[in-house]
Structure 1
Amino acid sequence: MTHHHDPALRPAPARTKAEPGTPSRRPDTPHDGSTAHRARGGRNGGDLVVETLAGLGATTVFGLPGQHALGMFDALRRSDLAYVGLRVENNAGFAADAYGRITGRPAPLLLSTGPGALTSLAALQEAAAASAPVLAVSSQIPTAGLGGGRHGYLHELPDQAASFRGVVKSVHTVRTQSQIPSAIAEAWTSALTVPHGPVWVEIPQDVLMAPTSLPAVTAMDAAPQQPAPRPELVAAAAGLLSRAARPAIIAGGGVVRAGACGELLALAEKLNAPVVTTFGGKGAFPWEHPLSLQSWMEDRHTTDFLEDADVLLVIGSGLGELSSNYHTFKPRGRIVQIEADLGKLESNHPALGIHADARLAVRALLEAVDERPDESAAGRARELLDKVRARIAAQELTLEQEVLASVRRALPDDSPSFWDMTILAYWAWSAFDAKFPNAMHSAQGAGGLGYGFPAALGAAVADPTRPVLAVSGDGGALYSIAELATARQYDLNVTWLIVDDGGYGILREYMTDAFGQATATELTRPDYVALAESFGVPGVRTTPETLEKDLARALAEPGPSVIVLPAVLRMFAPTHLD
């Protein structure tokens, strides 16, 4: 397959003379009238930012320029960093989130002050919930205005950092140019310290704009240490698992992020322990393996199976709302929980808690446990899946199952997919074979709308060699429709499937079930095919019968495309027995 590398991904060359259309007011002259500025062509505080990012290993940054942040953006053209500009800060945050998930490195997100910064909050909340490394670098009002007063600066907030402290892992405030490299390196380390997550750096406008005499920043070492398991806890856990009669394993997103999937497979086979993956852990365990319980976490049969385990090993999951079948899970056996996020350790259920990186802990367990023969384990796993399939089959949901199967057949096995909060995604959480680790992603961490398409764009930037699929409903699509311009500008290999049911489908279903009728769920929406074509993006209206063919063709063509499926899908009954 041929893939295009758009020159727009590369920094623009420095201007050598005035070009047509140049604003009459110099862009490096602050609107507030302060004297912070720099001579054309010289280095400024913004250069210290981009030099530090490059020195830490960043190659690509996402963002949106703003008046206070112009020093950073001007410095980009003197760097080797590739810049990908989105049209809405929240979407830029989703793109950075996906880039971090795919590469495992923090994705720098460059933002302006006030409204621009605040617009990114929902994306940073998703990154925090999903443990995705994002390094947000925001401008601030000039240092003269800092301190909590009301000075009347454009974009001013009394305490901008306070808006982010409850969302990100850490906040890093810069007040002088000499602080920039260390603050960014500290933030980078924080983003990569398990659990991964978003971090926030803010730098005043005048610090970014002022000329600098500091030497250029060179390579920096900011590699964090991963927490190793305590040996006495490993020994205790190994004893429980080796002696268990009915062990089972829940594999969460921490397994994927730690790269522990190979160790998980070996441990499950050594213990003959059936494995279920959470929605965040999709792909952590082979879907068709004899010990696989797949991902039917919202099914009472699965919940009963896990409750019946006499020893349940939970790896990289906090057993939150979705992973506990909406807190209906009531374990009767012992729990061993391996978790890198100390705050999630035993937060929902008492356990033998091991605070450690999943790969290090599972590797240690693999060496410590005894081989456990059990000819019944695979049969019990198969029996559970048969019960789940029979229950779903009894609900007359053929259309939904066929649509999801068509998507799976059309998507190349090695291609990642990004799903918005829509009914087809809820099906995919339970029923979609991700094929490999770190391949299926959704906004199920924080649950905000609009994630799928901009996240897919970030993944396509991270790896342009594979087509990427985005899946949205028409409600979620309207959150990120502006990014069709981004997809076209950078010629990104993303196919966007929009399931158009005329409104917020899942909320329509929830409200109808709860109140007998739905309110505020119906939407007037555009002709998505015509809208895509107006951006220069090919669009196709499909049907359930032609979806597989149309989707496969779009994914095989380089560049962006849109597939619109008019269909009203329904959810399966997840928690009660029929």
Structure 2
Amino acid sequence: MKTYEVAAAALSKQGARTIFGLMGDANLAYVGAYVENEGGEFVAAVAEGSAVSMADGFHRMTGEVGVASVTHGPAVTNCLTALTEAVRARSEVLLITGGTPDVRHHFQALDLEGFARGAGAQYLRVRRPDDAPGDIAQAFVQVRAAGRPLVLDIPYDLLERPAEHTSVPHADGGRTKTAPDRDALDDALGILLSTRRPLILAGRGAVRAGARDDILRLARLLDAPVMTTLLAKDLFHGEPENLGIHGNLSSGVAAEEIARADCVLAFGASLNTFTTDGNALLRGKSVIQCDDRVDAVGRFGLVSLALIADAGLAARAMCARLAEAGHTSPGIRRVTALQGKLTTAGQRSYRSITGGGTVDMRDAMKWLGEVLPSGTQVVTDVGRFSFAAWKHLDVTPGRFTVPGTFGSIGLGIGTAVGAAAARRDVPTVCVAGDGGGMMGILELSTAVRYELPLVVVILNDNCYGAEYRKLADLGLNTRHSEVAWPEFGEVGRSLGAQAVTVREEKDLAVAAEAIANGTFPLLIEIKADPARRRPGKSI
């Protein structure tokens, strides 16, 4: 067998059921063999960076390793932003490429190990044809064990050389659930019981650990409210202890309670600057950080106590330890008082600005949450628009993600295509602004080619929203941030998708019917006012 055939068989053996990418000299042989000989699926993206975003989205929604493959040289450099996003999001992504032919001054030569290092990814090179099966298995092991992307280099010159087809077992390499140390557990409970107003915060790690019910049981034993990070949004939806998102997306009532809290117990939350407002929201409080990764603890600020454990096991052990000690719930006086405040605050809500040919983004997101079927996957891009989605769009915990850890707009649609390819029994919705949407819209054609159940919602205020606001704050002309885009509906239809343009509330019914009928891929453009003015003042 040739090395490329052995590589294709090894990828299939290690559980790669879908590979995202673009073909070129460095990968076309093993990608072709993977499809033809192994029955694998290859999803061809429009751009290499989008292929990495797709692999990232695939992992975020399944927990499986997301695999992307591109050729050498500029194909690799085109992946830098998406790969850096995956690194910072701790996504399990394997990016396969290959060194250029070993000739003097090859025009596409690139230091692949240096590239990987620059993005923060791991690097592994296949050095001999017979090493390919073992090295591919090792790559999967390292990605799973480290929870960090890896760049696998299968040099071009090896691909057509003979290789031994050694059978390498499927390598799991996943992390085992870590139980909490008993002494550390007692120390944590000692801190919690010595404080008067503890608050419990759950992050993405708590969602992945399935820790929801155990955390709620602990909260009830402590009469403590619960909050989440953005990526754990709606984990406690409908529960009386729920105060929503912790950080700059908090409600007024939640913000007041955060300020009064004297202890924060965080499960599977990184406590990054968005969650803690640059650590300001934790200042003066006892902070207990529970995470199954040692390097995640204290990464963004000092903590009082580290509890290295799986979120679910830790919360369950805390409840059991309290029961052993004869601890009983102090009642729900604090939670009841907070619920009363939340009810009063909810009655005031916000003042809609729908009218005059534009729709309030908040209204649009509330509507979207009402019409999407249960279990829908939701991906949001980042930008000024995203606050409307994050605050007003209800989601299914574990099926919501934001490719925004690197602060780049434009990654949303690619990530959503990967999520849609991973799970085709429910719709996947990408909410994007017009700027980021225009960057990624060509990947709508990928969803069309593979008949994916994708809905792209563009909140279009014809500008780069954050820059619009900042220019206005500086007293400068906002026109520098404004863009006269083509009609997104027309662009969507030209790429083969169905499209609906929403200018008034009645147009939402047309979009809702398209979603209900499974008219996918579907693009919905929501016309919005960049200045967020009152109705009747046309733009």
Structure 1 residue 86 corresponds to structure 2 residue 24: no
Structure 1 residue 206 corresponds to structure 2 residue 165: no
> Which residue in the other structure is 1:293 paired with?
243
> Which residue in the other structure is 1:575 paired with?
none
Structure 1 residue 64 corresponds to structure 2 residue 22: yes
Which amino acid in structure 1 is aligned with residue 239 of structure 2?
H
2:444 to 467, 484, 493: 484
Which structure shows the bigger proportion of residues in helix conformation?
2
1:339 to 275, 282, 291: 291
2:339 to 382, 395, 420: 382
Structure 1 residue 179 corresponds to structure 2 residue 131: yes
**TM-score, normalised relative to structure 2:** 0.89
> Which residue in the other structure is 1:132 paired with?
91
Q: Tell me, which stretches of 5 or more residues in structure 1 are unaligned?
A: 1-42, 146-150, 573-578
Partners in 2 of 1:452 and 1:547 — Cα distance? 24
Partners in 2 of 1:571 and 1:187 — Cα distance? 49
Question: What is the Cα deviation at residue 390 of structure 1?
Answer: 7.4
Identity of aligned residues (%): 26
Distance change >3 Å, CA 505–CA 342, structure 1 → 2? same
Q: Answer yes or no: is the 8 Å Cα contact 1:171–1:201 preserved in 2.
A: yes
1:109 to 68, 71, 81: 68
1:312 to 255, 258, 264: 264
Partners in 2 of 1:111 and 1:96 — Cα distance? 12
1:424 to 380, 385, 388: 385
> For residues 73-108 of structure 1, what are the alpha-carbon distances to aligned partners after superposition, in whole Å with 9 as ceiling and x for unaligned?
232221121111111111111111111011101011
Partners in 2 of 1:217 and 1:47 — Cα distance? 14
> Which residue in the other structure is 2:500 paired with?
540
**Secondary structure of 1:287's match?**
coil
Partners in 2 of 1:220 and 1:443 — Cα distance? 28
Q: Answer yes or no: is the 8 Å Cα contact 2:87–2:149 preserved in 1.
A: yes
Which amino acid in structure 1 is aligned with residue 380 of structure 2?
W
Partners in 2 of 1:405 and 1:395 — Cα distance? 12
Distance change >3 Å, CA 565–CA 396, structure 1 → 2? closer
**Secondary structure of 2:272's match?**
coil
Distance change >3 Å, CA 490–CA 172, structure 1 → 2? same
Which amino acid in structure 1 is aligned with residue 503 of structure 2?
T
> For residues 40-95 of structure 1, what are the alpha-carbon distances to aligned partners after superposition, in whole Å with 9 as ceiling and x for unaligned?
xxx32222322222222221111111222223223222112111111111111111
Aligned length: 520
Partners in 2 of 1:228 and 1:185 — Cα distance? 28
> Which residue in the other structure is 1:148 paired with?
none
Q: Answer yes or no: is the 8 Å Cα contact 2:209–2:311 preserved in 1.
A: yes
Range with greater deviation from structure 2 (379-388 or 114-123): 379-388
Q: Answer yes or no: is the 8 Å Cα contact 1:338–1:354 preserved in 2.
A: yes
Structure 1 residue 561 corresponds to structure 2 residue 522: yes
Alignment of 1:402-551 (within 5 A): 402-434=363-395, 436-518=396-478, 520-551=480-511
**TM-score, normalised relative to structure 1:** 0.83
> For residues 86-142 of structure 1, what are the alpha-carbon distances to aligned partners after superposition, in whole Å with 9 as ceiling and x for unaligned?
111111111111110111010111121121112112112222222221111111113
> Which residue in the other structure is 1:49 paired with?
7
Distance change >3 Å, CA 513–CA 534, structure 1 → 2? same
Distance change >3 Å, CA 305–CA 517, structure 1 → 2? farther
Question: What is the Cα deviation at residue 394 of structure 1?
Answer: 7.2
Partners in 1 of 2:81 and 2:316 — Cα distance? 36
Q: Answer yes or no: is the 8 Å Cα contact 1:168–1:200 preserved in 2.
A: no
Distance change >3 Å, CA 494–CA 326, structure 1 → 2? same
**Secondary structure of 1:201's match?**
strand
Q: Answer yes or no: is the 8 Å Cα contact 2:444–2:492 preserved in 1.
A: yes
**RMSD over aligned Cα atoms:** 2.6
Partners in 1 of 2:178 and 2:26 — Cα distance? 39
Question: What is the Cα deviation at residue 280 of structure 1?
Answer: 1.7
**Secondary structure of 2:247's match?**
coil
